[in-house]
Chain A
Amino acid sequence: MTWKWESQRKQYGRALVELGKERSDIVVLDADLSSSTRTADFASAFPERFFNCGIAEQNMIDTAAGLAASGKTVFVSTFAVFGTGRCYDQIRQSVAYPKLNIKIVASHAGITVGGDGASHQIIEDIALMRVLPNMAVIVPVDSNETYNVVKAIAKTKDPVYVRIGRADVPTVTDKDTPFEMSKANVMRDGTDVTLIGCGILVSKCLEAAEELAKHGIDARVINLHTIKPLDEKTVVKAARETGGVVTAEEHSVMMGMGSAVAMCLVENFHVPMKRVGIPDVFGESGACNELMEKYGLTIENIVEAAHDVMKRKK
């Protein structure tokens, strides 16, 4: 399959500027990374509603809390590694617990950060945000969906964590593909096995499904963009109808999307399952594609996992 590769960050910047035009309650904070996260676009359009907090992520989150407590809808951006782990307590105490209207849209997540190395490649942000009560977790699949997610979450009043990448990603949706929070998107129907992906791994699931079709295996593919609250209905239905599930994500397998799916299935409808993701290790510097290969995030890894699941099916 040949994909069009596009920037999620660019669409984030565009959506923010539109929101800024539509609504005066939108304010944006960044921590000396506005040129990278693209909140700079909002900053130049609405300088009075943009606050660069400098390299002070903890301070930024609590400042956002004060703004939100005063009626603002606050978008907060930085790299995912600094926007989650660095200020975890601030998010816990001042965002999630008081259930404030703060949207953390964090870029440069996962190993596709590439050359910067493990210090910058957060592979545990979904885990950190997922365990927080009141916090929703969304991983937009591509540039279109990033735009749609930003527009959609601005309508809600609750905390949301949105994870996007540094690199351009394959466009798997079109502009009209609906985005509804917590409503997983079935991208391909199938009856033999279900491949559930999020983020950059969805395109690989689609390619894996093509590959599996050559072996007579009919795979269903789901874009599970919202990891919390989880669309249990769609997940359980897929398990019931296909009898086996593979998850794929650019995140540690320890507590990411795959774990969320596994927990759901263990309690609701137990089927053979395999999680494709980063093993319990830190990343390292390297080119994106090399890293994806080394850390087991390829089409072949998904195909192999699907075969394994098929074997274990009764």
Chain B
Amino acid sequence: MEIYDGEFIAELEAIAKRVRSHSITMIYRAGSGHPGGSLSGVDIMVALYFHVMKHDSKRPDWPERDRFVLSKGHAAPALYAVLAEAKYFPEKELETLRKLGSRLQGHPCMRKTPGVEMSTGSLGHGLAAGNGMALAAKLDRKLYRIYVLCGDGEMDVGETWEAAMLASHYKLDNITAYIDRNKLQLDGPTEKIMSLEPLADKWKAFGWHVIEINGHSMKEIIQATNEAKGVKGRPTAIICHTIKGKGVSYMEGSLHFHGKAPTDEEYKQAMKELGGTDR
């Protein structure tokens, strides 16, 4: 299969590395933001935007496009970097993150940023909004699909489970939820703050088809997504085992970098590791 072809995967991985580098640079320049959760979700977003999804950056409102909802809106830097890589707006604009007057708000705003499908930031809304899009697709007999990226901390939110129920009730086989299972939320490890396990069983009990993968493997992300496309009559949840801060050694598994910008020194180190230019 060409999609598992080494060169092809390497290409996606190269994009992911650039997205990581951009994300950290943006947060560094802004002086605030969420590096940890941005980095853990990068590979999923890159696989979706650069392989899985039908979309066209020249026509962000193309009715047939697949939709991506970043439910964990604080990972906005990664989404913006992906959108810039996909040419929704110039890469230069990434510098404006969180600045007054910027189209790149601290959390995604669908009225400001081309390519952003839903305004998010308050956790726990994205899956339900994705369901709405999935219902609309069914009503309009459209074939586009909905992809939602949730944080594992978002599994604390009651609405996540209300949405889980609704999706299976309405047999929404056109929506796929990716759960960024980095095992950390803001105050600490998920299992210490609010235990989630057995998480896969919970989703199964809510009527979802469940797949567990390494969320940093392009191959596994793509395979699981293809499997989800084949599932009829129910939605699919892909539990993506990830590492918060993935790609920057001192951010990996770190609570500190949930919501802190790197210092000058830390930034230099990150750029070394990500092969970005030290700007």
Contact = CB atoms under 8 A, between A and B. Distances in A.
A52 B192 CA distance: 9
A115 B98 contact: yes
Interface in A36-86: 36, 40, 52-56, 58-59, 81-82, 86
B158 A120 contact: no
B119 A55 contact: no
Contact of A294 (B31, B99, B100, B120): B100
Interface string A202-225: 000000000000000000000000
A120 B158 CA distance: 20
Contacts of A35: 186-187
B120 A119 contact: yes
B124 interface: yes
Contact of A120 (B121, B154, B156, B194): B121
Interface in B114-159: 119-124, 153-154, 156-158
Interface stretch (B101-109, B227-235, B270-278): B101-109
A26 to B, nearest CB: 20
A34 interface: yes
A117 B106 CA distance: 5
A287 interface: yes
A55 B121 CA distance: 13
B106 A54 contact: no
Interface in A266-291: 284-287, 290-291
Contacts, number: 95
Contacts of A56: 156-158, 194
A61 B106 CA distance: 27
B36 interface: no
Interface residues of B, number: 32
Residue of B106, B186, B193 with highest tally of chain A CB at under 10 A:
B106
Given A56-B194, A120-B121, A34 B32 contact: no
A55 B102 CA distance: 29
B23 interface: no
B42 to A, nearest CB: 21
Residue of B33, B104, B158, B194 with highest tally of chain A CB at under 10 A:
B194
Contact of B105 (A30, A32, A53, A117): A117
B122 A290 contact: no
A116 interface: yes
Contacts of A120: 106-107, 121-122
Given A32-B187, A284-B105, A117 B121 contact: yes
A33 B123 CA distance: 13
Nearest to B121: A119
A82 B122 contact: yes
A284 B100 CA distance: 7
B32 A32 contact: no
Contacts of B153: 32, 54-55
B254 to A, nearest CB: 13
A33 B31 contact: no
A120 B34 CA distance: 14
B156 A54 contact: yes
Residue of A58, A82, A284 with highest tally of chain B CB at under 10 A:
A284
Contacts of A287: 100
Interface of B: 30-33, 73, 97-102, 104-107, 109, 119-124, 153-154, 156-158, 185-187, 193-194
Interface of A: 30, 32-36, 40, 52-56, 58-59, 81-82, 86, 114-120, 284-287, 290-291, 294
